[in-house]
Amino acid sequence: MRTLMVEIIGKLQGTNAIVIDIRFNSGGYDLVSLEILRHFITEETKLYSKKAKLLNGYTEPQFFAILPADTTYHKPVFLLTSHQTASAPEVLAIGSMAVKNTTRIGSNTEGIFSDILEKKIPNGWIVNLSNEIYQDINGTCYESIGIPPNKEINYSHNENVFIRKLKRKTDNGDEAIEMVFKLIEE
C-alpha cells in the first residue's frame, strides 16, 4: 500500500485537487486509512482515539497519530461519504477531521467503527463483539450516528434506493463531483 500511495500521489501532484470516493466502501483495514491520510499532512497529526469496553468500565484511550509520508499532497482533498461508508473507511473519515486540506462531501457515514473481538463460547460457537469506542481528537464519539460531512448531500439510508438514485443522477452528473468542481472554483 505504501509504495502504491507514493506512486499515486506522485502522479497527482499536478492536479488542482484529489477526490477520494468511499461512498460504497464498507470495510477494510484501519492501517490502510492511516497510510492514505499520511499523504495529506505536513506534520505529525493526532487523528483519533479508541478504547475497549471492560467488565466495569473501559481501557485507557489509545491515541492514534501519524507522521507525514515522504511524498505528500497539499492541495484540496475531497472525501465522498455516504451511509454505506462503514468500518475502516470511517477511520479515514474520522481522521480526515484533523487534516486541514480535507473536505467531506455526502452524508454521514454508517457509524460502525469497532474492530471485531472474537470469542469462542463453551458450545463451540464463535461470538463476534463490537467492544471499542472510537472518538475524534475532541473526544466526540460517532458510533451509530456516523461522521458528518462538511458539505451535506441527503443520500438515502437504504442502500438500494441510494444506488438507484445515484445511478439516475450520474447519467446527468454526480452531485458530489459537481460540488467538488464548484468548491475548487471558489
Cα–Cα distance, 119 to 125 (Å, whole number):
8
Q: What is the CA radius of gyration of the chain?
A: 18
List the one residue out of 1, 183, 181 whose CA is nearest residue 88. 1
For residue 162, what pLDDT is reported?
84
Residue 164 CB neighbour total at 10 angstroms: 12
Helix axes 88-96, 30-37, angle to 10 degrees: 30
The CATH code of the domain that includes 147 is: 3.90.226.10
The residue range of the domain holding 153 is 2-185
| pLDDT tens per residue across span 34-65 | 999 999 999 999 999 999 988 899 999 999 99
| pLDDT tens per residue across span 136-163 | 999 999 999 999 999 999 998 898 888 8
State pTM to two decimals. Answer: 0.91
Number of domains in the chain: 1
